[in-house]
């Protein structure tokens, strides 16, 4: 059964970068495998399919990964997630350099598929590009031909996230005093620059 446009749009709206999670609710290894499975159906430049994943839900490994990540650069007064608000799982996206040096657009396509699959099952995520690659590689014993590219943090959300239109050109996300995370989005009339 196909999703309607409205159902797809709602899934996209709900798929927000989450930075505070319910640490008491695990994601589970089977769920992580389902989310990774969704990436196999994405288009791939030259159909090389050079991206691989390490899926992590072991609590000790999850705890050791958290300090390698840089979180929420715009929230300069935030010290990061409290221990009981940290992710309960991670997926590390890797480039298999034995297959390709360039991934073209594959990374974004697969990250969207992975996080949408997670969101469809009530799991929130945050895609992270800024992290300590040598330390992460050491923790996970990543082989030399696999290059860490992104980390996806996963768990059940413990925060409210609201989308709103950009005001006065300010695109930075922010958190209000009541703890709500606000995410400005450009209006449709600004992103379409030619209707012919």
Q: Distance between CA atoms of 29 and 64, rounded to whole angstroms? A: 18
Domain 5-159 identical in fold to domain 160-196: no
Q: Distance between CA atoms of 35 and 30, rounded to whole angstroms? A: 9
pLDDT digits 0-9 by tens, 148-161: 999 999 999 999 99
Asked if 151 contacts 69 with a C-beta cutoff of 8 angstroms, the reply is yes
Q: Which of 13, 1, 30 is nearest to 162 (CA)?
A: 13
Per DSSP, the residues of 150-167 read EEEEEEEE-S-EEEEE-B
Q: Which of 149, 154, 153, 155 is nearest to 52 (CA)?
A: 149
Would you give the distance in Å from CA 30 to the centre of its chain?
18
- 47 by Cβ neighbours in 10 Å (0-12 / 13-18 / 19+) ranks as exposed
Pick the CATH number of 5-159 from 1.20.140.10, 3.40.109.10, 3.90.1010.10, 3.40.50.720: 3.40.109.10
Look up the CATH superfamily of 160-196.
putative fmn-dependent nitroreductase like domains (2.20.180.10)
Asked if 95 contacts 146 with a C-beta cutoff of 8 angstroms, the reply is yes
Q: What confidence score (pLDDT) does residue 98 get?
A: 97
Where helices occur in 28-149 by DSSP H, the ranges are 29-39, 59-65, 106-120, 133-139
Instruction: Retrieve residue 48's tokens.
Output: 């090389």
- Domain spans of the chain, in order of start: 5-159, 160-196
Cut 0.85: pTM above it: yes
Would you give the distance in Å from CA 159 to the centre of its chain?
16
Tell me the torsion sign for CA atoms 127, 57, 48, 95.
positive
- Show pLDDT as tens, one digit a residue, over the chain (196 residues): 788 999 999 999 999 999 999 999 999 999 999 999 999 999 999 999 999 999 999 999 999 999 999 998 899 888 889 999 999 999 999 999 999 988 989 999 999 999 999 999 999 999 999 999 999 999 999 999 999 999 999 999 999 999 999 999 999 999 999 999 999 999 999 999 998 8
């Amino acid at each position: 059964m196909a999703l309607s446009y409205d159902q797809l749009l709602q899934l996209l709206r709900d798929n927000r970068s989450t930075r505070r999670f319910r640490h008491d609710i695990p994601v589970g290894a089977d769920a992580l495998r389902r989310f990774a499975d969704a990436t196999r159906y994405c288009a791939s430049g030259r159909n090389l399919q050079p991206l691989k994943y390490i899926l992590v839900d072991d609590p000790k490994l999850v705890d050791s990964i958290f300090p390698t990540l840089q979180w929420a650069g715009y929230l300069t007064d935030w010290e990061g997630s409290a221990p009981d608000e940290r992710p309960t799982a991670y997926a590390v996206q890797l480039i298999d350099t034995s297959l390709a040096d360039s991934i073209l657009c594959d990374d974004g396509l697969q990250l969207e598929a992975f996080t949408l699959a997670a969101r469809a099952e009530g799991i929130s995520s945050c895609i992270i590009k800024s992290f300590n690659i040598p330390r992460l590689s050491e923790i996970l014993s990543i082989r030399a031909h696999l290059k860490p590219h992104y980390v996806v943090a996963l768990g059940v959300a413990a925060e409210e996230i609201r989308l709103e239109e950009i005001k006065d050109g300010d695109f930075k996300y922010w958190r209000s005093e009541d703890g709500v995370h606000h995410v400005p989005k450009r209006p449709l009339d600004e992103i379409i620059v030619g209707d012919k």
